[in-house]
């Protein structure tokens, strides 16, 4: 089945794309992990390592999946889960969906455009304020992970485009899927594609160019809404199931079965269950449901935690399972082609 262009994708399709593609390479919370690690080392210079070792166990919270684990090792092992554990990581996760796909993951069917706009604006401003306070150069250096800065850059400039304001060339290059060297060429000479205004590219020129770029997802947050309230699906089902749903929107489904069945439980306390029904029952009895699934874009299987529950019948569950498995297959095929 031929992949639809970003311009043609609706809300649900973009969520699926975001879920499938949300990995180490574009997770802004990865930079948060680096900052927390550096903050701990900095505090250790002041107060001594023993005090910091005790305090950092509380600071990293749910990332310390095993009791007594060294906080440095926990951060390294579970950095891919920071977006689902720390409040700022959760906000940046949602901001990333807006920055890359032009949607608001938390939009509700009854909300007005003004309500959604206010929430998106608050996220963009909050992320910009946080980034301005980060000692990135001093603590992380020039070779630091760029995910946080890239997410804020794209979110800020998508907001600008959405309100007909000029944009930064660096962001437009990412939106259009071109290297910065090509963008510089498009800004130079008598026949330049774009014209600068105080170092920025006018919105009408940027939008006109992006209309011909297959990599760009035009914003649809003003009109796009989910069909559920974000907690459980509100459709009427016969014999519904409640399955755990992770922060990125993925769910626990029958397609996660491996040779020994389904793997559930926190890291260090995992166990295998032979059937989907029994595995789901185990998850429903856990304070925080956790299960193993393929790690997006990173290879191997990692632990993910549920943050809410989705209500669906077997037909819908099967459809979601097939969709996630197909997206995973396409991603794996894409990785093979890049080798």
What digits encode the pLDDT tens for the residues 194-251? 999 899 999 999 999 999 999 999 999 999 876 543 333 333 334 567 889 887 778 8
**DSSP string for residues in 124-180:** HHHHHHHHHH--HHHHH-TT---HHHHHHHHHHHHHHHHTT--B-HHHHHHHHT--H
| % of the chain with per-residue pLDDT over 70 | 86
**Where is the domain boundary, 210, 229, 258?**
210
pLDDT at res. 234: 34
pLDDT at res. 296: 62
Q: What are 221's two structure tokens?
A: 């947050």
- Asked if residue 319 is part of any domain, the answer here is yes
Q: Are residues 251 and 296 in the same domain?
A: yes
pLDDT at res. 336: 45
Give CA angle at 328 (327, 332), nearest 5°: 120
pLDDT band at 283 (very low <50, low <70, confident <90, very high): very high
pLDDT at res. 230: 36
- Asked if residue 222 is part of any domain, the answer here is no
For 7-28, how does the pLDDT look when each residue is reduced to its tens digit (9 = 90+)? Answer: 999 988 888 888 777 777 888 9
pLDDT at res. 168: 98
Handedness of CA 326, 330, 335, 339 (dihedral sign): positive
Handedness of CA 24, 89, 280, 234 (dihedral sign): negative
pLDDT at res. 334: 52
C-beta separation of 220 from 11 below 8 A: yes
pLDDT at res. 107: 86
Q: Are residues 262 and 152 in the same domain?
A: no
Q: Are residues 151 and 247 in the same domain?
A: no
Q: Are residues 13 and 154 in the same domain?
A: yes
| % of the chain with per-residue pLDDT over 90 | 47
**Where is the domain boundary, 158, 193, 210?**
210
Report d(CA 75, CA 58) in Å as an integer: 12
Q: Are residues 194 and 296 in the same domain?
A: no
Most confident of 66-75, 187-196, 245-254: 187-196
Q: Are residues 246 and 289 in the same domain?
A: yes
Phi, psi of 188, rounded to the nearest 5 degrees: -110, 155
- Asked if residue 163 is part of any domain, the answer here is yes
C-beta separation of 84 from 90 below 8 A: yes
pLDDT at res. 156: 98
Q: Are residues 256 and 326 in the same domain?
A: yes
pLDDT at res. 191: 86
Q: Are residues 301 and 163 in the same domain?
A: no
Positions of E strands within the chain? 241-246, 262-264, 271-273, 290-294, 301-312
Q: Are residues 17 and 74 in the same domain?
A: yes
pLDDT at res. 264: 93
pLDDT at res. 303: 86
pLDDT at res. 218: 96
- Asked if residue 227 is part of any domain, the answer here is no
- Asked if residue 39 is part of any domain, the answer here is yes
Into how many domains does the chain fold? 2
* H or E segment to which residue 320 belongs: helix 314-338
CB under 8 Å to 83, separation ≥6 — which residues? 27, 28, 29, 89, 90, 92, 93, 247, 248
In 3-state terms, what secondary structure has residue 191? coil
Choose the weakest-confidence range: 213-222, 265-274, 288-297, 311-320.
311-320
- Asked if residue 73 is part of any domain, the answer here is yes
- Asked if residue 25 is part of any domain, the answer here is yes
Residue 303 region by backbone torsions, left for phi larger than 0, else alpha for psi between -120 and 50, else beta: beta
Q: Are residues 293 and 187 in the same domain?
A: no
C-beta separation of 290 from 265 below 8 A: yes
pLDDT band at 87 (very low <50, low <70, confident <90, very high): confident
pLDDT at res. 202: 96
pTM of the model: 0.69
**Where is the domain boundary, 191, 210, 229?**
210
Q: Does 104 have pLDDT greater than 70?
A: yes
Q: Are residues 192 and 334 in the same domain?
A: no
Residue 239 region by backbone torsions, left for phi larger than 0, else alpha for psi between -120 and 50, else beta: left
Query: Bigger pLDDT: 161 or 261?
Result: 161
- Asked if residue 228 is part of any domain, the answer here is no
Query: Bigger pLDDT: 67 or 105?
Result: 105
Query: Bigger pLDDT: 232 or 282?
Result: 282
pLDDT at res. 170: 97
pLDDT at res. 126: 98
Q: Are residues 193 and 248 in the same domain?
A: no
Choose the weakest-confidence range: 64-73, 84-93, 168-177, 303-312.
64-73
Q: What's the domain range around 326? A: 241-338
Residue linked to tokens 């409040």: 87
Q: If you average pLDDT over residues 135-154, what whole number do you get? A: 95
């Amino acid at each position: 089945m031929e992949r639809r262009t970003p311009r043609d994708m609706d809300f649900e399709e973009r969520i699926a794309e975001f879920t499938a593609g949300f990995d180490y390479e574009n997770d802004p919370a990865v930079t948060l992990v680096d900052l927390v690690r550096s903050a701990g080392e900095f505090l250790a210079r002041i107060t001594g390592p023993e005090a910091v070792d005790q305090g950092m166990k509380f600071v990293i919270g749910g990332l310390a999946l095993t009791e007594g684990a060294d906080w440095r090792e926990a951060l390294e092992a579970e950095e891919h889960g920071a977006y689902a554990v720390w409040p700022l990581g959760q906000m940046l996760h949602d901001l990333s969906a807006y920055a890359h796909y032009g949607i608001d993951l938390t939009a509700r069917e009854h909300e007005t455009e003004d309500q959604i706009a206010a929430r998106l604006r608050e996220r963009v401003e909050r992320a910009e304020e946080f980034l301005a306070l980060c000692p990135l150069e001093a603590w992380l250096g020039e070779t630091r992970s760029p995910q946080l800065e890239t997410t804020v850059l794209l979110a800020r400039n998508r907001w600008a485009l959405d309100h007909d304001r000029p944009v930064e060339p660096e962001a437009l290059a990412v939106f259009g899927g071109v290297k910065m060297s090509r963008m510089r060429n498009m800004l130079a000479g008598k026949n330049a594609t774009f014209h600068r205004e105080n170092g920025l590219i006018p919105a009408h020129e940027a939008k006109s160019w992006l209309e011909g770029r297959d990599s760009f997802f035009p914003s649809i947050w003003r009109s796009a809404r989910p069909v559920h309230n974000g907690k459980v699906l509100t459709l009427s089902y016969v014999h519904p199931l409640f399955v755990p749903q992770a922060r990125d929107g993925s769910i626990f489904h029958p397609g996660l079965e491996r040779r020994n069945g389904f793997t559930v439980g926190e890291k260090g306390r995992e166990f295998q269950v032979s059937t989907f029904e029994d595995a789901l029952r185990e998850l429903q009895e856990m304070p925080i449901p956790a299960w193993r699934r393929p790690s997006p874009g990173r290879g191997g299987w990692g632990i993910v935690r549920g943050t809410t529950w989705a209500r669906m019948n077997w037909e819908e569950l099967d459809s979601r399972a097939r969709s996630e498995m197909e997206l995973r297959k396409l991603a794996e095929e894409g990785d093979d082609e890049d080798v």
